[in-house]
């Protein structure tokens, strides 16, 4: 058992030492039949049945039967203290996990993670069950092995030498297999927890999922997790099968060796028939099952319990950082900023400086996958750079009060959020104090007058699934337009609108006070924009549309490509190919 697992249960062991000693004592008594089995069988045969004294043979076998009864009573008696110990361990673990998760959640100011429910309910119960089996079975199996070996040595000393070359390689192989098994088992537990968390996310977010029309995607996500969980469980089962094969082989080979040696030993008079049967009894009913139990228990179950305990111990939640400041200006800046999704990934941008004055109207363009969404997420404080800083009004985003930041910077993604509620609730979600006239005027700007009358006015109940994706985007845009946000970021938020509706929406936002950043869906957005930011591999180039046309071959190629294909949306994959073919940066 590793040190983490030991640390998790050692307090419970220390508190229940007496129960464990009782288990050991009863187990010791339970091995008496094993110790006597071979010898009594040998005596019953050699001096009883084979010597023509069946009465003596039966009497000796009767003694063996009585010892079996004694063993059964002893095993039964060991159950009581074992249950006391197992329950104490389970209570201790539940207490530890609940305490740690609640403490972490409270100090982070967040809800406890749902993976903890799976840990408490499933994994502590696993520990209780396995641990009680383990302690019971290991103590009796070890004692049984000692007893069977002692008996075997007394009857056939040569057999001990035959056991070594069989059991040692098998033990080595089992250790190797166990290491792989433990890794797979940990992966399988992680999959289980991820599945539980995903299901919880979907079940608690049903309204949001319906609002965004994301039922298909949510189903796919759960399906992916389910498949991963099933794959992981199959991997664990496969390795368990391989281990069982090795254990079976190692358990049966000594018996085969004994049977092969027996004719020579018996004919030389080194072994009587009774001793042979006694030795077989030790191997078949003592050593083989004990070896099987020890390797299985120490292999599968002890590893399983150690793995679960190690995972149960990792319940820390990193506290979410929340600053305390509010900025008085709204200019955005990146200073020496580097962002990458993982330590091994290419940076999306590296050591980058960029300043956007308050009131800027900027359109971001670039090939698909270059990092436009990532960049705007960093500006919205949804992602943090690994180096450098991102500031709003000169204040690092991580020092700003999160609630203030969310109110000041609104990011609208492609997936529009319309929830089941009235038209008014949907429009005024970010501006609860807005007057009806303001709501209707804004809705009219975005071409939603018809939608309002379709639902019978602002009090009409919207069923999100009856709206087209374009209507959803318009409702979301109108909602953000009404919000107090001083920085609005539209990340392809108009992608489902026709070019005319898109132009109307963009013009509305261009007239709205504050900063506007738009990730362009069509090149027409860039042509209309005050400033354009061209994002390339490792480079950010800023300018007006005309400036970039002259200074950036990539941008010129993009515009040329797009105007020749007028009316189409930017096929950014093709654009990337066009840029690559042209050798631009
Ligand atoms: N959460 C994430 N974890 C790891 N990689 C990610 C994650 N999100 C995005 N990426 C990767 O980062 C790169 C930039 O993605 P991003 O969505 O910012 O590009 P984009 O220019 O907005 O693309 P598109 O125009 O297709 O929306 C892509 O290679 C993407 O696969």
Last-in-domain residue among 313, 342, 373: 313
3-state secondary structure of 351: strand
Query: Among 134, 153, 179, which Cα is nearest to 27's?
Result: 134
Lowest mean pLDDT among 35-49, 174-188, 338-352, 496-510: 174-188
Q: Is residue 320 part of a domain?
A: no
Most confident of 73-77, 155-159, 230-234, 470-474: 470-474
The rounded distance, in Å, linking the Cα atoms of 493 and 413 is 5
Q: Is residue 259 part of a domain?
A: yes
Residues 283 and 344 in one domain: no
Percent of the chain residues past pLDDT 90, beyond the cut: 40
How far is the CA of 471 from the CAs of 29, 415, 428, 478, in angstroms? 79, 12, 16, 10
Residues 306 and 454 in one domain: no
pLDDT number for residue 570: 46
Question: What is residue 43's DSSP assignment?
Answer: H
Domain that holds residue 524: 332-582
Residues 258 and 225 in one domain: yes
Beta bridge partners of 325: 400
- What is the mean pLDDT of the segment spanning 180-184? 83
Residues 523 and 422 in one domain: yes
Give the model's confidence band at 107: pLDDT under 50 very low, under 70 low, under 90 confident, else very high: low
> Which uninterrupted H or E stretch holds 407?
helix 402-408
Q: How far is the CA of 347 from the centre of ligand 1 (A)?
A: 11
Regarding the beta carbon of 369 and ligand 1, being less than 6 Å apart is answered yes
Residues 411 and 296 in one domain: no
Instruction: Name the more confident of 188 and 159.
Output: 188
Regarding the beta carbon of 372 and ligand 1, being less than 6 Å apart is answered yes
Asked if residue 356 has pLDDT above 80, the reply is yes
Alpha helices for 268-380 (secondary structure H): 273-281, 288-296, 302-313, 372-379
Asked if residue 436 has pLDDT above 90, the reply is yes
Asked if residue 273 has pLDDT above 80, the reply is yes
Q: How far is the CA of 229 from the centre of ligand 1 (A)?
A: 26
ipTM of this complex prediction, to 2 decimal places: 0.97
Q: Is residue 318 part of a domain?
A: no
- What is the mean pLDDT of the segment spanning 491-506? 92
Residues 374 and 471 in one domain: yes
Regarding the beta carbon of 413 and ligand 1, being less than 6 Å apart is answered no
pLDDT number for residue 313: 65
Residues 12 and 102 in one domain: yes
Residues 299 and 357 in one domain: no
Asked if residue 575 has pLDDT above 60, the reply is no
Q: What's the distance, Cα to Cα, between the start and end of the chain in Å?
A: 56
Q: Is residue 169 part of a domain?
A: yes
Residues 305 and 338 in one domain: no
* CATH code, domain with 151: 1.20.1560.10
Give the model's confidence band at 416: pLDDT under 50 very low, under 70 low, under 90 confident, else very high: confident
Q: How far is the CA of 564 from the centre of ligand 1 (A)?
A: 28
Q: pLDDT of 68-79, one tens digit each?
A: 999 999 988 988
Q: Is residue 98 part of a domain?
A: yes
Regarding the beta carbon of 572 and ligand 1, being less than 6 Å apart is answered yes
Residue located via tokens 């950082």: 321
CB 312 within 8 A of CB 69: no
The rounded distance, in Å, linking the Cα atoms of 348 and 389 is 15
Regarding the beta carbon of 370 and ligand 1, being less than 6 Å apart is answered yes
Regarding the beta carbon of 81 and ligand 1, being less than 6 Å apart is answered no
Q: What is the mean pLDDT of the chain?
A: 83
The rounded distance, in Å, linking the Cα atoms of 307 and 1 is 9
Both structure tokens of 378: 């960093």
Instruction: Name the more confident of 401 and 536.
Output: 401
Q: How many domains does the chain have?
A: 2
- What is the mean pLDDT of the segment spanning 30-58? 92
Residue closest by Cα to atom 9 of ligand 1: 374
Residue 446 neighbours by CB distance under 10 Å: 23
Instruction: Supply the Cα-derived Rg of the chain in whole angstroms.
Output: 37
The rounded distance, in Å, linking the Cα atoms of 280 and 291 is 15
* CATH code, domain with 454: 3.40.50.300
pLDDT number for residue 496: 92
To test ligand 1's pocket by mutation, which of 343, 371, 380, 539 has the most ligand atoms within 8 angstroms of CB? 371
Asked if residue 501 has pLDDT above 60, the reply is yes
Asked if residue 569 has pLDDT above 60, the reply is no
Beta bridge partners of 349: 339
Residues 244 and 393 in one domain: no
Instruction: Name the more confident of 373 and 155.
Output: 373
Residues 76 and 217 in one domain: yes
Q: pLDDT of 453-489, one tens digit each?
A: 999 999 999 988 889 999 999 999 999 999 999 999 9
- What is the mean pLDDT of the segment spanning 309-323? 58
Residues 206 and 339 in one domain: no
Asked if residue 31 has pLDDT above 60, the reply is yes
pLDDT number for residue 432: 93
Residue closest by Cα to atom 28 of ligand 1: 369
pLDDT number for residue 583: 35
Q: How far is the CA of 537 from the centre of ligand 1 (A)?
A: 13
Q: Is residue 448 part of a domain?
A: yes
Of ligand 1's listed atoms, the one at least distance from the Cα of 375 is 18
Measured CA angle at 156 (ends 153, 157), to 5 deg: 55
Q: Is residue 122 part of a domain?
A: yes
Q: Is residue 327 part of a domain?
A: no
Asked if residue 374 has pLDDT above 50, the reply is yes
The rounded distance, in Å, linking the Cα atoms of 268 and 162 is 19
Q: How far is the CA of 334 from the centre of ligand 1 (A)?
A: 19
CB 295 within 8 A of CB 96: no
């Amino acid at each position: 058992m590793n040190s983490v697992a030991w640390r998790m249960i050692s307090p419970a062991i220390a508190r229940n030492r007496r129960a464990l000693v009782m288990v050991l004592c009863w187990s010791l008594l339970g091995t008496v039949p094993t110790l006597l089995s071979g010898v009594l069988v040998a005596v019953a045969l050699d001096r009883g049945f084979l010597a023509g004294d069946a009465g003596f043979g039966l009497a000796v076998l009767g003694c063996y039967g009585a010892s079996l009864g004694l063993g059964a009573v002893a095993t039964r008696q060991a159950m009581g203290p074992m249950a006391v110990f197992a329950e104490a361990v389970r209570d201790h673990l539940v207490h530890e996990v609940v305490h740690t998760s609640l403490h972490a959640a409270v100090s982070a100011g967040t809800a406890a993670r749902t993976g903890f429910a799976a840990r408490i309910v499933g994994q502590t119960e696993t520990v209780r069950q396995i641990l009680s089996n383990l302690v019971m079975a290991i103590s009796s199996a070890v004692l049984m092995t000692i007893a069977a070996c002692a008996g075997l040595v007394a009857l056939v000393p040569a057999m001990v030498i035959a056991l070594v070359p069989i059991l040692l390689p098998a033990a080595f192989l089992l250790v190797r297999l166990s290491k792989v098994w433990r890794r797979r088992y940990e992966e399988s537990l992680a999959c289980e927890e991820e599945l539980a968390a995903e299901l919880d996310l979907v079940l608690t977010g049903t309204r949001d999922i319906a609002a965004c029309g994301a039922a298909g995607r949510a189903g796919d996500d759960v399906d992916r997790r389910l498949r991963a969980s099933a794959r992981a469980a199959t991997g664990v089962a496969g390795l368990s099968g391989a281990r069982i094969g090795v254990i079976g082989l190692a358990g049966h080979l000594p018996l085969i060796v004994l049977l092969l040696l027996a004719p020579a030993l018996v004919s030389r008079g080194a072994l009587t028939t009774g001793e042979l049967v006694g030795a077989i009894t030790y191997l078949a009913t003592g050593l083989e099952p004990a070896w099987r139990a020890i390797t299985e228990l120490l292999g599968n179950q002890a590893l399983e319990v150690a793995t679960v305990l190690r995972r149960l111990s990792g319940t820390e939640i990193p506290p979410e950082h929340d600053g305390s400041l509010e900025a008085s200006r709204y200019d955005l800046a990146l200073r020496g900023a580097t962002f990458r999704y993982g330590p091994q990934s290419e940076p999306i941008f590296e050591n980058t400086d960029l300043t956007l004055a308050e009131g800027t109207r900027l359109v971001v363009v670039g090939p698909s996958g270059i990092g436009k969404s990532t960049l705007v997420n960093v500006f919205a404080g949804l992602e943090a750079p690994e180096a450098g800083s991102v500031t709003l009004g000169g204040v690092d985003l991580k020092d700003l009060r999160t609630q203030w930041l969310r109110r000041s910077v609104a990011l609208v993604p492609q997936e529009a959020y319309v929830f089941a509620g009235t038209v008014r609730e949907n429009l005024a979600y970010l501006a609860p104090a807005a007057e009806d006239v303001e709501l209707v005027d804004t809705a009219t700007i975005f071409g939603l007058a018809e939608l309002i009358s379709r639902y019978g006015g602002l009090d009409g109940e919207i069923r999100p699934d009856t709206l087209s994706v374009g209507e959803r985007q318009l409702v979301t845009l109108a909602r953000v337009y009404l919000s107090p946000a001083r920085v609005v970021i539209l990340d392809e938020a108009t992608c489902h609108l026709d070019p005319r509706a898109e132009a109307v929406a963009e013009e509305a936002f261009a007239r709205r006070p504050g900063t506007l950043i738009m990730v362009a869906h069509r090149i027409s957005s860039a042509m209309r924009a005050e400033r354009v930011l061209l994002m390339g591999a490792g480079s950010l180039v800023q300018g007006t549309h005309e400036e970039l046309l002259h200074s950036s071959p990539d941008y010129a190629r993009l515009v040329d490509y797009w105007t020749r294909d007028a009316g189409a949306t930017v096929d950014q994959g093709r654009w990337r190919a066009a840029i690559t073919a042209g050798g631009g940066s």
